[in-house]
Amino acid sequence: MEHRPIKTDADTRDHLVVIGNGMAGCRAVEELLARDPARYRVTIFGAEPRVNYNRIMLSPVLAGEKSFDDIVINDADWYAANGIALVAGDPVVAIDRAARTVTTRGGATESYDRLLIATGSDPFIIPVPGKDLPGVIAFRDMDDVDTMLAAADAGGDAVVIGGGLLGLEAAHGLSLRGMKVTVIHLMPTLMERQLDEAAGWLLKQALEGRGQTILTGADTAEIVGNGKVEGVKLKDGTLIPASLVVMAVGIRPSVALARDAGLAVGRGIQVDDHMVTSDPAVLAVGECVEHDGQVYGLVAPLWDMCRSLADGLVEQPTGYRGSVTSTKLKVSGIDVFSAGDFSGGDGCEDIVLRDASRGVYKRVIVRDDRIVGAVLYGDTADGSWYFDLLKKQEDVSDLRDLLIFGQSFASGGGAADPKAAVAALSDDAEICGCNGVTKGQVVSCIAKGAHSLDAVRGTCKASASCGSCTGLVENLLALTLGDDVQAGPKTMCKCTSFGHDDVRREIVAQAMRSIPEVMQKLHWTTPDGCSSCRPALNYYLLCALPGDYVDDQQSRFVNERMHANIQKDGTYSVVPRMWGGLTNPTELRAIADVVEKFNAPMVKVTGGQRLDIFGIRKEDLPAVWADLNAAGMVSGHAYGKSLRTVKTCVGSEWCRFGTQDSTGLGVKIERMSWGSWMPHKFKIAVSGCPRNCAEATIKDFGIVCVDSGYELHVGGNGGIHVRATDLLCKVATEQEAMDYCAAFIQLYREEARYLERTAPWIERVGVDYVKARIADDRAGREALRARFLYAQSFSQDDPWAQRAEGAEREHHAPMARFTPQEGFLKEEIGA
């Protein structure tokens, strides 16, 4: 902006030189002036040709809510009035600590008694081809905002790389300015450093509702364009057109100047509690420093740092002890707040409140009766209250039960007993908002005999939809009945008050599409579920949305994620499919070769008429599969909650007792049903005559051939509790046997609970129910069959072949190898 002559006359005061005219540098000077305005002669060097402005308000400027003048903190008069020399637009490029001088790019040299480095941070530019094209910018200073405003005037498409705080604010501003905005975020969750999965999902929904395209889990391959930016290409090949690309993937402390000067630098410039660097004459403050191993990218820690810095400069040291930070997203109409540590862990207790109808998610993390973190979405009114309790480390044990409802509720005297609070409600107070049920109606329904939560849900419908009033209904049950409350059916797991059937029904009824959506709409009490509910939800969604739902690998048990069976020593066993138990020399040779090539210590014939290769290392699995694929074999799914084997006897082709071609039918059934995911493992057998050599009457679906046709049996099990099958019906033709089989599998897939085999399922629903649905209801049976075959059109894609070609490589390869004697090797695999 302007070059003010630097005072060099007979001023004998110590000279404080400040490198950085940003928020930290100026705040530090302000703090110093407040303590002792005359003590130092002050010179400030700034890289930008401007006075000091509030960088965090760039977003509102971009959004058109503020102008540059609105966000100036200190105008030119302030510098003049305080006798501060400002050198703006001529950055310092070198520090000579021995001579105690700094040199600018323009060649000016200035000596100092104390030097303050406040260089802030630099945007991180991801090293992809095209990053230097005109039209590719960061979002860091006013120049960037000016570039964005010019681009917005021309209209068109913009891509923002990075779905963190800064990226989303840039996207919001550009979107308001009329550009069509796509946000590319590498992680599956937006703002994953501040938000958990649940809140990130809500945010994504809201932004998409405003017309932005949000691509999560998207990895930028290159920025394309001829002379100027024209688009962004992702690693999956997608090309997104763009006339402007904003990189907002993160910031790095700006330490080059300090490092060149030989100061101690870690992630940032290392400072003590008084913001003094390894050189006592040099101080540093703000985003460029590392204090006690921490670097900060937010504004709040700055104020504390500057306070202790100024105390030290006037020789009344106090000391900085680190900061707890909180974040708010500055996107109007979307309220997001996060503070502290929300990663959970030992001794941490999550208190979660979800209100699907209002789009609210609140999570408070408590450890040892103290709040350690909070994530709020949709209703952030209590953010500052939680943050205050967190910073003060206040004991919240007395507030525990009502904490999540917020300050006004929790502090509302005498309300510490939730039961008393419920008792105090009037009869016409609404308990269940979804179904409009009052307290009086719930109590009268309990009085009429609904003595369990489930019974209440079944009669007056309270708590039957979203479940957020479950606690209230339970309190009413306890108040009305005392100890006579009956336990309801088992809930799915500790994360929810709903049972499997309820969850499933709601997934279908509300057309839910993802695990975070289910958790939000059904008020899960944990942020990301547990190892019981996640695999179940993944299956229910997969079953409800064939071809549409994207399988969540991290919600699968290891065997299904690795497509092999883990053994107790950590190696895997591999079972290729042998259709109907048949094999041939090519397959046997390939198996023998694999056994030798990979030194498999054991091969075993399984009970399901195939071969199991033991002792394969995780890293070798893709190569093993490639070899087996080459001989025409595919995954046997011996590891899955899925179709396992179709066991057969030799049947009429060879056996003198055989009545039908049981082997041929077995092969056809296996070809029809392989690859389908189920609630649990599923075994089929086909016997050629009632001697039943294939043991069809202890299988999930068994066929016993007789002269006049095919007997169909269901619900058998040979495990801990041996259960012989129930006879479903008898059919005349092979085609009917196959059609009934498909319909039965689909009924099981749609209605059994996750991890429920057919035997306990049939005991629960009754074989008559299954007969009614499969044998007696022709239209229903055909519809079930059609749904099964439709789902199969997406699932019969050999997972081994995909992996052998390199899919999900990171599941198999180690990230790095370490040999103590030889040192360390980092392999560049699947970055």
Q: In this structure, what DSSP letter does residue 429 have?
A: S
Helical H segments across 531-689, by residue range:
533-544, 558-562, 585-597, 621-630, 662-673
Q: Which of 188, 359, 690, 760 binds other proteins (CB under 8 A)?
A: 188
Q: Which CB atom, from 343 or from 735, has the smaller least distance to other proteins?
A: 343
Q: How far is the CB of 124 from other proteins (least distance, A)?
A: 8
Q: Which of 381, 558, 732, 807 binds other proteins (CB under 8 A)?
A: 558
What's the CA gap between 430 and 456, in Å, rounded? 15
- 819 is a site residue for other proteins (CB under 8 A): yes
Site stretch for other proteins (CB under 8 A), options 73-81, 83-91, 115-123, 340-348: 340-348
Q: Which of 56, 142, 149, 187 binds other proteins (CB under 8 A)?
A: 187
- 186 is a site residue for other proteins (CB under 8 A): yes
Q: Which of 109, 553, 733, 793 binds other proteins (CB under 8 A)?
A: 553
Site stretch for other proteins (CB under 8 A), options 154-162, 343-351, 389-397, 622-630: 343-351
- Evaluate whether 219 touches 228 at the Cβ level (below 8 Å): no
Q: Which CB atom, from 193 or from 321, has the smaller least distance to other proteins?
A: 193
Site stretch for other proteins (CB under 8 A), options 192-200, 412-420, 481-489, 781-789: 192-200
Q: How far is the CB of 543 from other proteins (least distance, A)?
A: 19
What's the CA gap between 779 and 759, in Å, rounded? 25
- 333 is a site residue for other proteins (CB under 8 A): no
Q: Residue 306: which of 101, 557, 29 has the closest Cα? A: 29
Q: Which CB atom, from 13 or from 267, has the smaller least distance to other proteins?
A: 267
What's the CA gap between 467 and 460, in Å, rounded? 14
Of 732-761, which residues contact other proteins (CB under 8 A)? none
Residues, the chain, total? 831
Report, in angstroms and rounded to the nearest whole number, the Rg of the chain calculated over CA atoms. 34
Q: How far is the CB of 192 from other proteins (least distance, A)?
A: 5
- Evaluate whether 140 touches 166 at the Cβ level (below 8 Å): no
What's the CA gap between 551 and 745, in Å, rounded? 20
For 151, 267, 278, 579, the CA distances from 121, given in Å and listed in that order, are 25, 11, 20, 62
Bridge pairing between strands 14-19 and 244-247 = unpaired
Q: Which of 549, 557, 598, 794 binds other proteins (CB under 8 A)?
A: 557
- Which x/- pattern over 106-125 shows residues binding other proteins (rule: CB under 8 A)? ------------------x-
DSSP lists the bridge partners of residue 824 as 818
Q: How far is the CB of 196 from other proteins (least distance, A)?
A: 6
Q: Which CB atom, from 196 or from 474, has the smaller least distance to other proteins?
A: 196
Q: Which of 38, 509, 779, 831 binds other proteins (CB under 8 A)?
A: 831
Q: How far is the CB of 485 from other proteins (least distance, A)?
A: 26
Q: How far is the CB of 323 from other proteins (least distance, A)?
A: 19
Phi-psi map region of 637: left, alpha, beta (phi>0 left; psi -120 to 50 alpha): left
What's the CA gap between 46 and 369, in Å, rounded? 46
Site stretch for other proteins (CB under 8 A), options 345-353, 384-392, 674-682, 772-780: 345-353
What's the CA gap between 169 and 174, in Å, rounded? 9
- 666 is a site residue for other proteins (CB under 8 A): no
- 526 is a site residue for other proteins (CB under 8 A): yes
- 162 is a site residue for other proteins (CB under 8 A): no
- 657: CB partners within 8 A, 6+ apart: 688, 689, 691
- Which x/- pattern over 195-214 shows residues binding other proteins (rule: CB under 8 A)? -xx-----------------
Q: How far is the CB of 819 from other proteins (least distance, A)?
A: 4
Q: Is 223 helix (H, G, I), strand (E, B) or coil?
A: strand
Q: Which CB atom, from 193 or from 505, has the smaller least distance to other proteins?
A: 193
- 820 is a site residue for other proteins (CB under 8 A): yes
Of 236-265, which residues contact other proteins (CB under 8 A)? 250, 252
What's the CA gap between 222 and 787, in Å, rounded? 41
- Evaluate whether 690 touches 706 at the Cβ level (below 8 Å): yes
Q: Which CB atom, from 708 or from 819, has the smaller least distance to other proteins?
A: 819
For 250, 451, 503, 763, the CA distances from 193, given in Å and listed in that order, are 11, 45, 30, 48
Helical H segments across 52-196, by residue range:
58-62, 68-71, 76-81, 142-154, 165-176
Site stretch for other proteins (CB under 8 A), options 299-307, 322-330, 355-363, 821-829: 821-829
Q: How far is the CB of 343 from other proteins (least distance, A)?
A: 4
Q: How far is the CB of 523 from other proteins (least distance, A)?
A: 17
Q: How far is the CB of 26 from other proteins (least distance, A)?
A: 27
- Which x/- pattern over 561-600 shows residues binding other proteins (rule: CB under 8 A)? xx---x-x-x------------------------------
- Which x/- pattern over 791-810 shows residues binding other proteins (rule: CB under 8 A)? -------------------x
Burial string for 794-831 (b: 16+ CB within 10 Å, else e) reads: ebeebbbeebbeeeeeebbeeeeeeeeeeeeeeeeeee
Q: Which CB atom, from 307 or from 354, has the smaller least distance to other proteins?
A: 354
Q: Where are the beta strands (DSSP E) in 688-768?
A: 701-706, 709-714, 726-731
Residue 488 C-alpha from the chain's centroid: 32
Q: Which CB atom, from 350 or from 474, has the smaller least distance to other proteins?
A: 350
Burial of residue 692 (CB within 10 Å: 0-12, 13-18, 19+) is middle
Q: Which of 5, 107, 227, 345 binds other proteins (CB under 8 A)?
A: 345
Q: Residue 166: which of 241, 62, 244 has the closest Cα? A: 62
Q: How far is the CB of 754 from other proteins (least distance, A)?
A: 14
Residues near other proteins (CB under 8 A) are 124, 186-189, 192-193, 196-197, 250, 252, 267, 342-346, 348, 350, 526-531, 534-535, 553-559, 561-562, 566, 568, 570, 810, 814-820, 822, 824, 826, 829-831
